[in-house]
Amino acid sequence: MLTPELVTLLTDPVLIAILVVALLVVGGAAGIVVTRRRRSALPQADQPAPLETAEPQVGDDAETPRDTPTRTVEDTELPEQAPTVEKPESAQGRLVRLRARLARSQGSLGKGLLALLSRDKLDEEAWEDIETTLITADVGVAPTQELVEKLRTRMRVEGVGAAQARDILREELIALVDPSMDRTLAVTRKDTQPAVVLVVGVNGTGKTTTVGRLARVLVAEDKHVVLGAADTFRAAAADQLQTWGERVGARTVRGPEGGDPASIAFDAVKQGIAEEADVVLIDTAGRLHTKTGLMDELGKVKRVIEKSAEVDEVLLVIDATTGQNGLTQARVFADVINVTGLVLTKLDGTAKGGIVIAVQRELGVPVKLVGLGEGADDLAPFDSEQFVDALLD
Ligand SMILES: Nc1nc2c(ncn2[C@@H]2O[C@H](COP(=O)(O)OP(=O)(O)OP(=O)(O)O)[C@@H](O)[C@H]2O)c(=O)[nH]1
C-alpha cells in the first residue's frame, strides 16, 4: 500500500539513481553468465585447443613490448637447402662409354684400312689406297710411310687374310699411337701446395669447356679443385667457367673484364693454397695476334704463378676438326711454353682421328685427354689400345 511516506521516498531522485545503478549491475552480471554458459554449450569437436589467456592484470602490457631482443641472422636457422652440387661420372670407363661415338666418327679410317688390307691380293693400287686413307685421316706423311712399310713387310711374312690383317693393323696402329708415353696428369698435391695446371690454346678450341670438364674428372676422384678464370679476353668466359665450377662445388677466382690474366692466375693459386686444394686449374686466353704477344702473356702468367707455386702441367687444347691448322697452332704454343700434355677436343665431329698420331709426333708430347661430345662428362682420359680398338670396331 502506497503511504504518503513511501511516495515521498520513491520520488526521491537520489534513491532513484541508486536503484538504476543497482539494476544495471545485476543485469550485466546475468548477461556475462548467460554468454559463458552458451559458449561452453557449443560442440567441442572442431574447436581449437584453448589458448592460454591469462587475464591481464593491472600494470601488464597488452602485447609483447617492441623492445624484446630481435633475433640476429646467426640465431635464425635457415631451412636446409636442397643440394645442387652434381656428382660427376668417374674417369674410369669414360672412354669405354664413348667408344661407340669414336667408332662412328672414325669408321672410315679404321674400317677403311681393314677392308683394304683384307683383300686377297694386295697390289700396288691397294697400298696406294691405304696410304691415301691414312693421309686423309691426318695421320701425317712420315707416320703414314712408316706404317705402310711395316704393314707391307708383316703381311708378306705373316700372310694375307682378314684375320691376320686385323691383328697386324691393330698392333701397328697401337705402336704408332705409342702406349709407352706417360699420360698421367700431374694433379697430385705436394706437401703444402696444390698442383697447378695451366690450360692453353686458341680460343674456340674448347679450352674453357675443357677446364670445366677436367674439374669434373678431378672432383669425381674426390679432389678439391679451385678454378682460375684468367681468360679475360672474352667477357663470357669467366661466367662460363664459374657455372662449371658451381656445378661441382669448386670456387672460381675471377677478376675484372680485360684485367691482368697473370694477377688472376696468381690470386687463384693463392686461394688454392689457402683452401688447401689439391689442384688449381687455370684457363688462359689464346687470342693474341702475334707470337711475341702470346709469349709475353703466357710467360708472365707462368712466372707470376711460380712466385708461389710450381706449374705442374701445361695442357694444350687442340680442336681435332681443324686438321693442319691445329698442328700449326700447336707448334706456336709449344714454342712459347713447355707443353706437357695435349687435349684433343671435338674428335666426335671429325673422321680425322689420325691427328692423335700426327700431333704427338710433331710435339713429342702425349695426348692425355680427348673430347668426344658436348656433354659435361664427354671428356675422357686417352688410352692407346682403347682408341685403336674403337677405330677397328
Ligand atoms: N662436339 C664437341 N664439341 C665440343 C667439344 N669440346 C668443346 N666443344 C664445344 O666447342 C665450343 C667452344 O668451346 P669453348 O670452351 O667455349 O671454347 P674456348 O676455347 O674456351 O673459347 P674461349 O672461352 O673463348 O677461350 C662449345 O660450344 C663447346 O661445347 C667436344 O669434345 N665435342
**Nearest Cα to 368, choosing from 93, 182, 194, 173?**
182
* pLDDT above 90 coverage of the chain, percent: 52
**Single-letter amino acid, residue 177:** V
b/e map 239-266, b = 16+ CB within 10 Å: ebbbebbebbebbbbbbeeeebbbbbbb
Measured from the Cα of 349, ligand 1's closest atom is: 1
Same domain assignment for residues 234 and 351: yes
b/e map 327-345, b = 16+ CB within 10 Å: bebbeebbebbebbbbbbb
Same domain assignment for residues 132 and 270: no
Q: Is the CB of 346 under 6 A from ligand 1?
A: yes
Q: Is the CB of 203 under 6 A from ligand 1?
A: yes
Same domain assignment for residues 381 and 240: yes
Q: According to the annotation, is 96 in a ligand binding site?
A: no
Same domain assignment for residues 256 and 377: yes
Structural domain harbouring 153: 94-177
Give the CA-trace dihedral at 353, 345, 301, 275, to 10 degrees.
-130
If you measure from the C-alpha of residue 185 to the centroid of ligand 1, how many angstroms do you get, rounded to a whole number?
21
Measured from the Cα of 234, ligand 1's closest atom is: 24
Answer yes or no: is 9 within a domain: no
Cell 712420315 found at: 142
269-288 tens-digit pLDDT: 999 999 999 999 999 987 66
Rounded distance between C-alpha atoms, residue 293 and residue 332, angstroms: 12
pLDDT at 330 over 50: yes
pLDDT at position 188: 96
pLDDT at position 108: 79
Q: Is the CB of 371 under 6 A from ligand 1?
A: yes
The preferred substitution site among 287, 315, 348, 374 for testing ligand 1, maximizing ligand atoms within 8 Å of CB, is 374
Residue 143: CB partners within 8 Å, gap ≥ 6? 134, 176, 354, 357, 358, 361
If you measure from the C-alpha of residue 193 to the centroid of ligand 1, how many angstroms do you get, rounded to a whole number?
30
Q: According to the annotation, is 3 in a ligand binding site?
A: no
Q: According to the annotation, is 302 in a ligand binding site?
A: no
ipTM of the prediction: 0.94
Range 362-376 average pLDDT: 95
User: How many domains is the chain partitioned into structurally?
Assistant: 2
Q: According to the annotation, is 350 in a ligand binding site?
A: no
Measured from the Cα of 213, ligand 1's closest atom is: 6
Residue 194: CB partners within 8 Å, gap ≥ 6? 226, 269, 272, 273, 276, 277, 278, 279, 280, 309
Measured from the Cα of 371, ligand 1's closest atom is: 31
Q: According to the annotation, is 137 in a ligand binding site?
A: no
If you measure from the C-alpha of residue 204 to the centroid of ligand 1, how many angstroms do you get, rounded to a whole number?
6
Answer yes or no: is 121 within a domain: yes
pLDDT, the chain, mean: 82
Helix/strand/coil percent split, the chain, to 5: 50, 10, 40
Among the candidates 118, 143, 177, a domain finishes at: 177
Among the candidates 177, 211, 238, a domain finishes at: 177
Same domain assignment for residues 251 and 322: yes
Longest dimension (CA), the chain: 158
Q: According to the annotation, is 349 in a ligand binding site?
A: no
Residue 250: CB partners within 8 Å, gap ≥ 6? 215, 219, 224, 225, 226, 227, 244
Answer yes or no: is 44 within a domain: no
**Nearest Cα to 345, choosing from 51, 98, 118, 64?**
98
The preferred substitution site among 106, 208, 209 for testing ligand 1, maximizing ligand atoms within 8 Å of CB, is 209
Q: Is the CB of 107 under 6 A from ligand 1?
A: no
Q: Is the CB of 374 under 6 A from ligand 1?
A: yes
Identify the residue whose C-alpha is closest to ligand 1 atom 25: 203
- The band of 59, judged by pLDDT with boundaries at 50, 70 and 90, is very low
Same domain assignment for residues 121 and 231: no
Rounded distance between C-alpha atoms, residue 382 and residue 330, angstroms: 18
78-129 tens-digit pLDDT: 555 555 788 888 887 788 888 888 888 887 788 889 889 888 888 899 999 9
Answer yes or no: is 187 within a domain: no
If you measure from the C-alpha of residue 239 to the centroid of ligand 1, how many angstroms do you get, rounded to a whole number?
14
Range 219-237 average pLDDT: 92
Same domain assignment for residues 242 and 300: yes
Q: According to the annotation, is 207 in a ligand binding site?
A: yes
Answer yes or no: is 251 within a domain: yes
If you measure from the C-alpha of residue 58 to the centroid of ligand 1, how many angstroms do you get, rounded to a whole number?
76
Q: According to the annotation, is 204 in a ligand binding site?
A: yes
If you measure from the C-alpha of residue 89 to the centroid of ligand 1, how many angstroms do you get, rounded to a whole number?
19
Rounded distance between C-alpha atoms, residue 188 and residue 222, angstroms: 12
Give the CA-trace dihedral at 284, 286, 290, 293, to 10 degrees.
-10
Same domain assignment for residues 108 and 169: yes
Same domain assignment for residues 265 and 158: no
Same domain assignment for residues 256 and 379: yes
If you measure from the C-alpha of residue 221 to the centroid of ligand 1, how many angstroms do you get, rounded to a whole number?
23
**Single-letter amino acid, residue 225:** V
pLDDT at 324 over 60: yes
If you measure from the C-alpha of residue 227 to the centroid of ligand 1, how many angstroms do you get, rounded to a whole number?
17
If you measure from the C-alpha of residue 385 to the centroid of ligand 1, how many angstroms do you get, rounded to a whole number?
26
Under a CB-based contact definition with an 8 Å cutoff, are residues 264 and 230 in contact? yes
Same domain assignment for residues 141 and 244: no
Same domain assignment for residues 166 and 118: yes
Q: Is the CB of 348 under 6 A from ligand 1?
A: yes
CATH code, 148: 1.20.120.140
For β-strands 379-381 and 367-371, DSSP reports them as antiparallel
pLDDT at position 3: 55
Q: Cβ of 146: how many Cβ atoms within 10 Å? A: 17
Containing 174, the helix (H) or strand (E) segment is helix 162-177
Residue 56: CB partners within 8 Å, gap ≥ 6? 62
Among the candidates 113, 146, 177, a domain finishes at: 177
Answer yes or no: is 229 within a domain: yes
Cell 544495471 found at: 24
Answer yes or no: is 52 within a domain: no
pLDDT at position 101: 87
154-180 tens-digit pLDDT: 998 888 777 888 899 999 999 999 999
